[in-house]
Structure 1
């Protein structure tokens, strides 16, 4: 018996050690990449170095995912880091899109240099901050400490401020300043909410380090003061909701997307919004357990529904293609928030699926939009025409990505939106008309502008550097796969993560 216990303990220790090693690599590669590219980011081979660090991070994330699938949730490094079914696949998704965006940014940034927008100093800043941004997101996803989570979100803000302003034009500096101020105010609200959570936990646990550890708080959530916890959640929802782009806290997002480099727009829409949503979800689990009612979910449903409807109507007024798709991101994050607000197995499953396919499709769209804008020397939609003639692969990528993000079958966005709508019809029928109005207006607004861009007439010539469109079609193929068939391991993740999120009905 003692021998069996010793073997079991050895096996657990081996599993924790393997998870610790994999997590170390997940965090070490982007951090080391930031340092290395801070030194050589202006060299001709910097794009290859950036891509190499991206693929190493992704492979490490795959190893970490396998460890969690095989051995269950792991707490490492003195319980300061925690990986479980809720966050480990988001780590894999973040590192994957970070890698493919690094591939895309190679030829894209070469054209920007040819156009005089980038110089060696700016290239070094871009490459270094890109890797540091990836590190900050992965740190936020894997930490078990809500204080470190707040620090990681602040670090992500500061790095993206530098990325948005990298062109050093008056418009990009204004967008970066607006981003810094609005998200700075939001992150201050999140800090106050974190302090309130600490106060609620300290009354139960005493002044221990575990008072900010999510696993420690989750274990005693039923004993936390419900009034303090709900007030904390309100501040955290507003604070991290600023990062997500909730209406009316969204004003920074369209400007940041329009004025920054397109690879930055791709990772902002495809990744950073997910990390902020993850922070809200962790706090919602604690709030549901403490107050025992659906008030947290109802708040999320309200913000989500408002974001869907308002963003859809703003879509119809846009003339800049990147601004238009930034409002599309606000609309889709509103849908995701609404799904998680409903909670339950169906709502959580739909929210997790929509997070996945939105990240893949929206980043693919920004890849094509970036090359289209470079060819036209403008982001105005009325000046981008005939993509199917000039760059057939760009044109097909844009039209397929548009069909996918608008929820056309058989892409994965259709599956997740269908599940969200049917769940709302069954459980919250009052919200269904608003969802249909928002989705219908968004569909008509985007399609009416994209069709002339793709099929119109033009006399433009192809770009001197062939675009890197492998990431576009890989992302769209994965989104198509998730609309036709969800692999068993991914379905299991959605089910397990959805069960962890729960939701008071």
Structure 2
């Protein structure tokens, strides 16, 4: 049964990509894209219920493995991919109406969107660390085409920069995967079993420590490039600023999580094998550096999408720091922050997309008085900003509170660094967003309010997670945290 459910999850977006490769130029291509994304989300929920009821499962001869950790990310990925597809429908049509996109570009966008979704789902669900690398490479190639969609000099430059930097990162991750296989081959023997994460986890205490250390360094640097960790982050602001807004939403809300999942799985093996905190310390160092550098970089930004891209770097650094600390509370907080960041940041990009589309610019100095121009866009951006800055009662406050209090107890020297960096980020973002939302403008109100149901649906979920977490969801996070040690 698990084989069929997993097949439905992976084949639905693959079929969607094939159909949209053929029919992507039709007038109903946007609706087909949303339909296939909804079916993928439905398949993810069926798979999630199965794992919650029956526990971890293997499928297709152990090549795929589903447990409480990755099925949580599967459900989150499928949900945000679905809501982003709903946002894409009016957004991309307006872009076409403004002459920024042609029918051929839309054709490419819809087909690549589905293939990008399936690449992320394969990377999350596979048990084979080699297939993880292949899926991450596929996700890179599809997003390169999406980032360069506008075919402007700036978008082509951003896509090329993204391709080169992430290509180098993926090459380093491949070397780390080869070293991991080299360490496992001596214990598990030659063959595919030496690449299966479940088998590696069973014998991690017998793996060669020195080789594992070296493998993790390459894996962290390689996949950390995709996460956007400093100093490997320079592709991310350009890709967000120059690509279509729906691509910014799925990059921040989904792809960064998928890459971090690969790092966390590797940490479980390395720290379990060494009996030390080697991998955790490296993750804490990269995470803390990312939070600090991103916070100070926020002040220099003039483009609104670039600013929120640096905010994504800051929050992914915070999540990496939480997973690096390890332990039940920090890991629980990292999983919760993954959830609320994905929901909040995608909602923010939805609102930013509409704001930039209506004003015709992404330069913050030229965007003013959104509440007067469009109250729904203005309030969507304001509430999203309050949420991502960690204002109570939103869920980001709860997860950041757990991370900081755990750091106070376990690593007190990191607490002032985190608090100062978060305070700087708060001042930078709030100072720039306040006139954008509440400032004066001479622009006329929009004749029709834009469709922002995905924005408020995401923010409602983030608010709910800040006020009340259903017991089954809390148990889910606890089980996933236990699996990660």
Q: How high is the TM-score relative to the length of structure 2?
A: 0.99
Give the match's secondary structure for 2:27. Answer: coil
Q: Residue in 1 aligned with 2:215?
A: 232
Give how far 1:460 is off: 2.8
Q: Residue in 1 aligned with 2:36?
A: 53
Residue in structure 2 matching 1:420, options 393, 403, 410: 403
In 2 relative to 1, CA 39–466 (structure 1 residues): closer, same or farther, beyond 3 Å?
farther
Q: Residue in 2 aligned with 1:285?
A: 268
Question: Does the aligned pair in 1 maintain the 2:64–2:127 contact within 8 Å?
Answer: yes
Residue in structure 1 matching 2:155, options 156, 161, 172: 172
CA distance in 1, matches of 2:389, 2:24: 37
Residue 247, structure 1, aligned to residue 230, structure 2: yes
Q: Residue in 1 aligned with 2:443?
A: 460
Q: Residue in 1 aligned with 2:17?
A: 34
Question: Does the aligned pair in 1 maintain the 2:284–2:321 contact within 8 Å?
Answer: yes
Q: Residue in 2 aligned with 1:123?
A: 106
Question: Does the aligned pair in 1 maintain the 2:304–2:362 contact within 8 Å?
Answer: yes
> Unaligned 5+ residue runs, structure 1?
1-16
Q: Residue in 1 aligned with 2:329?
A: 346
Instruction: For residues 91-114 of structure 1, give each alpha carbon's deviation from its aligned partner in whole angstroms, at most 9, with x where no partner exists.
Output: 000000000000001111111011
Q: Once structures 1 and 2 are overlaid, which stretch shifts more, 114-123 or 40-49?
A: 40-49
CA distance in 2, matches of 1:197, 1:149: 13
Residue 195, structure 1, aligned to residue 178, structure 2: yes
CA distance in 1, matches of 2:128, 2:95: 40
Instruction: For residues 119-165 of structure 1, give each alpha carbon's deviation from its aligned partner in whole angstroms, at most 9, with x where no partner exists.
Output: 00000000000010000000000000000000000000000000000
Instruction: For residues 59-95 of structure 1, give each alpha carbon's deviation from its aligned partner in whole angstroms, at most 9, with x where no partner exists.
Output: 0000000000111111000100010001001100000
| C-alpha RMSD of matched pairs (Å) | 0.9
Residue in structure 1 matching 2:86, options 84, 94, 103: 103
Question: Does the aligned pair in 2 maintain the 1:179–1:253 contact within 8 Å?
Answer: yes
CA distance in 2, matches of 1:322, 1:465: 24
Question: Does the aligned pair in 2 maintain the 1:246–1:303 contact within 8 Å?
Answer: yes
Q: Which runs of 4+ in 1 moved over 6 A?
A: none
Question: Does the aligned pair in 1 maintain the 2:376–2:449 contact within 8 Å?
Answer: no
Give the match's secondary structure for 2:25. Answer: coil
Give how far 1:461 is off: 4.0
Question: Does the aligned pair in 2 maintain the 1:304–1:336 contact within 8 Å?
Answer: yes
In 2 relative to 1, CA 81–462 (structure 1 residues): closer, same or farther, beyond 3 Å?
farther
Give the match's secondary structure for 2:68. Answer: coil
CA distance in 2, matches of 1:464, 1:217: 59
Residue 500, structure 1, aligned to residue 480, structure 2: no
CA distance in 1, matches of 2:182, 2:118: 29
Q: Residue in 1 aligned with 2:418?
A: 435
Residue 205, structure 1, aligned to residue 160, structure 2: no
Aligned pairs for 1:105-504 (under 5 A) are 105-461=88-444, 466-502=449-485
Give the match's secondary structure for 1:486. Answer: coil
CA distance in 2, matches of 1:431, 1:136: 36
Give how far 1:467 is off: 2.5
CA distance in 2, matches of 1:322, 1:445: 14
CA distance in 1, matches of 2:267, 2:59: 23
In 2 relative to 1, CA 72–363 (structure 1 residues): closer, same or farther, beyond 3 Å?
same
Q: Once structures 1 and 2 are overlaid, which stretch shifts more, 483-492 or 275-284?
A: 483-492
Q: Residue in 2 aligned with 1:4?
A: none
CA distance in 2, matches of 1:126, 1:152: 19
Q: How high is the TM-score relative to the length of structure 1?
A: 0.95
Give how far 1:287 is off: 0.3
In 2 relative to 1, CA 463–162 (structure 1 residues): closer, same or farther, beyond 3 Å?
farther
Give the match's secondary structure for 1:395. Answer: helix
Question: Does the aligned pair in 1 maintain the 2:280–2:325 contact within 8 Å?
Answer: yes
Question: Does the aligned pair in 1 maintain the 2:3–2:59 contact within 8 Å?
Answer: yes
Give how far 1:489 is off: 1.7
CA distance in 2, matches of 1:322, 1:44: 29
Give how far 1:277 is off: 0.5
Instruction: For residues 317-356 of structure 1, give each alpha carbon's deviation from its aligned partner in whole angstroms, at most 9, with x where no partner exists.
Output: 1000000000000000000000001000011001000000
Q: How many residue pairs were aligned?
A: 485
Question: Does the aligned pair in 1 maintain the 2:130–2:195 contact within 8 Å?
Answer: yes
Give the match's secondary structure for 1:459. Answer: coil
CA distance in 1, matches of 2:292, 2:431: 18
Give the match's secondary structure for 1:302. Answer: helix
Give how far 1:49 is off: 0.6
